[in-house]
Amino acid sequence: MKAVHFGAGNIGRGFVGLLLHDAGYEVVFADVDAALIGRLQAADRYVVHEVGPGGRDRVVDRFRAIDSATDASGLVAELTTADVATTAVGPRVLRFIAPHLLAALRARTDQLPPLVVMACENAINATDVLRDEIAALTDPEEWPTLAHRAVFANTAVDRIVPGQPGETGLDVTVEPFFEWAIERPPFGDAPPVIPDAHFVDDLAPYIERKLFTVNTGHAATAYLGYRLGYERISDALADPAVAAGVERALAETSALVVAKHGLDPEQQAGYRARILERFANPELPDTVERVGRQPLRKLSRKERFVGPATDLAERGMPVDGLLAAIGAALRFDVAADPEAVDLQAALRAEAAPAVVRDVMGVESGHPLFDSLVAVVGEAQADLGR
């Protein structure tokens, strides 16, 4: 069995690559980072160090690597005979993966079982987005002749994998916890064998609970912590003011996922407590800059703050904790992060209602619009606008 995995970064090596390896797949990593690919090609193994209670070292071997920026034909040849193709490149990079998958679907024969395609990104229905990007590259007549050569399944992936210091090796430090939920219906009776993943009939509760609890809480910790000058996530969460702000935001998103998906409130409270323990893991060298990265993406309409806040406002439920976290996100001013630079430029150049429309995708007339305009206006006042 062979899997081609796009994105040999933190979650690629420390989670998806590891679980596919453990499931018996030969993993072919595809990445545009030439130095990283060179290191993978020169190595025959790397180690995933799980740090924290119950953690152990796990060895990944039987992998190969291919530079997808310079060897498109080699990549397509690998995909043409692969069983599985996964991604962990970031939701906004999926459109650059689509042409490779299209070329492979055109080259695959109907004698092979369909290629299993799963995007493992922090985004709702990322695999559907990838499928639509591929389909959009074809004529309407061609897509129906190719679609049966792949099975597209959405997934929810959860494991904290910090940036790796120095970025000169291959070993990865991760938390012991992980969860990989994959939707079952696209596979009919024959889901792929990945023992450490679990297949679910309806992914929506899993991905929304994950994104709006783990990622909302994580991003709130990062942005509130950044404002107070913290570098590490665990240090930020140890500050009572940050912890209280995170708790407020998570109380609101928990009320939403409980109301929307019929989750058990006590189980959701336990899930929330567990993720706060995970963030507080002192052995995990995670930073507010990594967790807060790409604030324009994180402030967009379907993402971890504005997504649940708009839904809550439409239901007449409280959103003050989320608004406070959004206010902190608007102050994320990290010169090394291009999206933070663009966000600060937008705050300086545009009127508050335009920022709410352009960055957050919320239009006037929406029940949250005026509150968002007020939060943006306060951040702009701090900038002297």
- Please list every residue from 139 through 158 that binds ligand 44H, using CB under 6 A: 158
Q: Write down the residue that tokens 């107070």 correspond to.
A: 228
Of 218, 227, 272, 331, which one interacts with ligand 44H (CB under 6 A)? 218
Residue number, 49 or 64, with CB nearest to ligand 44H: 49
Q: Give the gyration radius of the chain's Cα atoms.
A: 21
Instruction: Tell me the Ramachandran region of residue 327: left when phi exceeds 0, alpha when psi lies from -120 to 50, beta otherwise.
Output: alpha
Contacts of 212 (CB under 8 A, 6+ apart): 253, 256, 257, 304, 307, 308
The verdict on 97 binding ligand 44H (CB under 6 A) reads no
**Three-state secondary structure string covering 169-204:** CCCEEECCCCEEEEECHHHCCCCCCCCCCEEECCCH
Contacts of 58 (CB under 8 A, 6+ apart): 18, 22, 47, 48, 50
The whole-angstrom separation of Cα 357 and Cα 71 is: 40
- The two tokens of residue 60 are 């990944």
The whole-angstrom separation of Cα 179 and Cα 181 is: 6
The verdict on 159 binding ligand 44H (CB under 6 A) reads yes
The verdict on 122 binding ligand 44H (CB under 6 A) reads yes
The whole-angstrom separation of Cα 347 and Cα 350 is: 6
List the single partner that 187 binds among ligand 44H, ligand NAD, none, CB under 5 to 8 Å by kind: none
Q: Which residues are known binding-site members for NAD(+)? A: 3-14
Of 291, 296, 323, 324, which one interacts with ligand 44H (CB under 6 A)? 291
Q: Which spans of this chain sit near ligand NAD (rule: CB under 6 A)? A: 6-12, 30-33, 36, 68, 88-91, 93, 96-97, 121-122, 157, 159-161
List the single partner that 293 binds among ligand 44H, ligand NAD, none, CB under 5 to 8 Å by kind: ligand 44H
Instruction: Give the distance from CA 274 to its chain's centroid.
Output: 19
The torsion angles phi and psi of 180, rounded to 5 degrees, stand at -130, 105
The verdict on 281 binding ligand 44H (CB under 6 A) reads no
List the single partner that 31 binds among ligand NAD, ligand 44H, none, CB under 5 to 8 Å by kind: ligand NAD
Residue number, 5 or 372, with CB nearest to ligand NAD: 5
Minimum Å distance from CB 233 to ligand NAD? 11
Minimum Å distance from CB 286 to ligand 44H? 7
- The two tokens of residue 145 are 């002749």
Residue number, 36 or 296, with CB nearest to ligand NAD: 36
Of 27, 293, 305, 379, which one interacts with ligand 44H (CB under 6 A)? 293
Residue number, 268 or 294, with CB nearest to ligand 44H: 294
Q: For ligand 44H, which stretch binds (CB under 6 A), given 100-108, 111-119, 214-222, 346-354?
A: 214-222
The verdict on 209 binding ligand 44H (CB under 6 A) reads no
Minimum Å distance from CB 268 to ligand NAD? 20
Q: Which residues are known binding-site members? A: 3-14
List the single partner that 245 binds among ligand 44H, ligand NAD, none, CB under 5 to 8 Å by kind: none
Minimum Å distance from CB 351 to ligand NAD? 31
Strands, E, within 39-185: which ranges?
45-50, 57-61, 63-67, 84-87, 115-119, 150-152, 155-158, 172-174, 179-183
- The two tokens of residue 163 are 């940036």
- The two tokens of residue 9 are 């970064």
* Residue numbers at the binding site for ligand 44H (CB under 6 A): 122, 158-160, 214-215, 218-219, 291, 293-294
